Amino acid sequence: MSRVFNFSAGPSTLPVEVLEQARQEMLDWQGSGMSVMEMSHRGKHFMAIAEAMKNDLIELLAIPANYQVLFLQGGASAQFALIPQNILNGKTKAAYVNTGAWSTSAIKEAGKYCEVQLSASAETSGFTTVPTLNTWQIDSDAAYLHYTSNETIHGVEFSEIPDVADIPLVCDMSSNILSRQFDVSRFGLIYAGAQKNMGPSGVTVVIVRDDLLGLTQDTVPSVFNYQLQAKSDSMLNTPATYNWYLLGLVLQWSKRQGGLAAIEQTNIRKAQKLYQAIDASVLYRNPVDPEYRSRMNVPFVLADAGLDKEFLRLADAAGLSSLPGHRSVGGMRASIYNAMSEAGVDALIDFMAEFERTH
Amino acid sequence: MSRVFNFSAGPSTLPVEVLEQARQEMLDWQGSGMSVMEMSHRGKHFMAIAEAMKNDLIELLAIPANYQVLFLQGGASAQFALIPQNILNGKTKAAYVNTGAWSTSAIKEAGKYCEVQLSASAETSGFTTVPTLNTWQIDSDAAYLHYTSNETIHGVEFSEIPDVADIPLVCDMSSNILSRQFDVSRFGLIYAGAQKNMGPSGVTVVIVRDDLLGLTQDTVPSVFNYQLQAKSDSMLNTPATYNWYLLGLVLQWSKRQGGLAAIEQTNIRKAQKLYQAIDASVLYRNPVDPEYRSRMNVPFVLADAGLDKEFLRLADAAGLSSLPGHRSVGGMRASIYNAMSEAGVDALIDFMAEFERTH
Q: Give contacts of B202 with chain A, Cβ < 8 Å.
A: 73, 202-203, 239-243
Q: Touching check for B80 and chain A: CB below 8 Å? A: yes
Other C-beta atoms closer than 10 Å to the C-beta of A285 total 14
Q: Are residues B175 and B271 in the same domain?
A: no
Q: Touching check for A106 and chain B: CB below 8 Å? A: no
Partner-chain contact A73 B77, CB within 8 Å: no
Residue at which a domain ends, from B211, B230, B256: B256
Q: Give contacts of B73 with chain A, Cβ < 8 Å.
A: 73-75, 78, 202, 240
Question: Quick one: which of B199, B243, B180 has its CA closest to A11?
Answer: B243
**Does residue A6 fall inside a structural domain?**
no
Return d(Cα B228, Cα B217) in angstroms, integer.
Answer: 12
Q: Max CA-CA distance within chain B?
A: 62
- Nearest Cβ partner for A81 among B33, B73, B222: B222
Q: Are residues A172 and A196 in the same domain?
A: yes
Q: Are residues B206 and B288 in the same domain?
A: no
Asked whether the predicted pLDDT for residue B1 surpasses 60, the reply is no
Count of the separate structural domains present in chain A: 2
- Nearest Cβ partner for B11 among A39, A199, A219: A39
**Does residue B328 fall inside a structural domain?**
yes
**Does residue A9 fall inside a structural domain?**
no
B2-38 tens-digit pLDDT: 899 999 999 999 999 999 999 999 999 999 999 999 9
What ipTM describes this predicted complex?
0.98
Q: Say what the pLDDT of residue A2 is.
A: 87
- Nearest Cβ partner for B112 among A9, A39, A219: A219
Mutate to test the interface with B, among A14, A39, A73, A172 (most CBs of B within 10 A): A73
Question: Is B279 known to sit in a ligand binding site?
Answer: no
Walking along chain A (359 residues) 10 residues at a time, the average pLDDT comes out as 91 98 98 98 96 98 98 98 97 98 98 98 97 96 98 97 95 98 98 97 98 95 98 98 98 98 98 98 97 98 96 97 92 98 98 97
Rg (CA), chain A: 21
The helix (H) or strand (E) run that includes residue A189 is strand A189-193
Q: Touching check for B73 and chain A: CB below 8 Å? A: yes
**Does residue B64 fall inside a structural domain?**
yes
User: A342-358 vs A308-317: helix axis angle to the nearest 10?
Assistant: 130
Which residue among B29, B172, B244, B253 is the active-site one?
B172
CATH of the domain at A117: 3.40.640.10
B288-309 tens-digit pLDDT: 999 999 999 999 999 999 999 9
Which residue among B196, B244, B253, B270 is the active-site one?
B196
Q: Are residues A159 and A271 in the same domain?
A: no
Q: Are residues B130 and B278 in the same domain?
A: no
Question: Is B77 known to sit in a ligand binding site?
Answer: yes
Question: Quick one: which of A156, A114, A162, A160 has its CA closest to A137?
Answer: A162
**Does residue A213 fall inside a structural domain?**
yes
Q: Are residues B224 and B265 in the same domain?
A: no
Q: Which residues 242-271 of B have a C-beta within 8 angstroms of A?
A: 242-243, 246
- Nearest Cβ partner for A200 among B8, B11, B242: B242
**Does residue B142 fall inside a structural domain?**
yes
Q: Give contacts of B32 with chain A, Cβ < 8 Å.
A: 4
Chain centroid to CA B292:
16
**Does residue B151 fall inside a structural domain?**
yes
Q: Is B233 annotated in the active site?
A: no
Q: Say what the pLDDT of residue A328 is.
A: 86
Question: Is A76 known to sit in a ligand binding site?
Answer: yes
Q: Are residues B114 and B141 in the same domain?
A: yes
B85-122 tens-digit pLDDT: 999 999 999 999 999 999 999 999 999 999 999 999 99
Residue at which a domain ends, from A241, A256, A271: A256
Return d(Cα A146, Cα A131) in angstroms, integer.
Answer: 14
Q: Which residues contact A323 (CB under 8 A, 6 or more apart)?
A: A7, A311, A312, A315, A316, A332, A333, A334
Q: Are residues A135 and A205 in the same domain?
A: yes
**Does residue A351 fall inside a structural domain?**
yes
Q: Touching check for A10 and chain B: CB below 8 Å? A: yes
Q: Are residues B212 and B295 in the same domain?
A: no
Domain that holds residue A121: 17-256
Q: Say what the pLDDT of residue B328 is.
A: 86
Q: Touching check for B44 and chain A: CB below 8 Å? A: no
Q: Which residues pair with A116 in a beta bridge?
A: A94
H-assigned helices in chain A: 16-24, 44-61, 75-87, 101-110, 226-231, 241-256, 259-279, 308-317, 342-358
Strands B67-72, B332-335: pairing is: unpaired
DSSP string, B159-225: SS----TTSPEEEE-TTTTTSS---GGG-SEEEEESTTTTSSSS-EEEEEEGGGSS---TTS-GGG-
3-state DSSP assignment of residue A118: strand
B230-245 tens-digit pLDDT: 999 999 999 999 999 9
Q: Say what the pLDDT of residue B227 is.
A: 98
Q: Are residues B103 and B34 in the same domain?
A: yes
Q: Say what the pLDDT of residue B107 is.
A: 98
CATH of the domain at A339: 3.90.1150.10
Q: Touching check for B111 and chain A: CB below 8 Å? A: no
Partner-chain contact B201 A239, CB within 8 Å: yes
Question: Is A142 known to sit in a ligand binding site?
Answer: no
Residue at which a domain ends, from A256, A273, A289: A256
H-assigned helices in chain B: 16-24, 44-61, 75-87, 101-110, 226-231, 241-256, 259-280, 308-317, 342-358
Q: Is A255 annotated in the active site?
A: no
SS3 assignment for A39-99: CCCCCHHHHHHHHHHHHHHHHHHCCCCCEEEEEECCHHHHHHHHHHHHHCCCCCEEEEEEC
Q: Touching check for B7 and chain A: CB below 8 Å? A: no
Partner-chain contact A22 B26, CB within 8 Å: yes
Q: Are residues A117 and A132 in the same domain?
A: yes
Q: Is A196 annotated in the active site?
A: yes
**Closest-CA residue of chain A to B73:** A74
Q: Are residues A230 and A271 in the same domain?
A: no
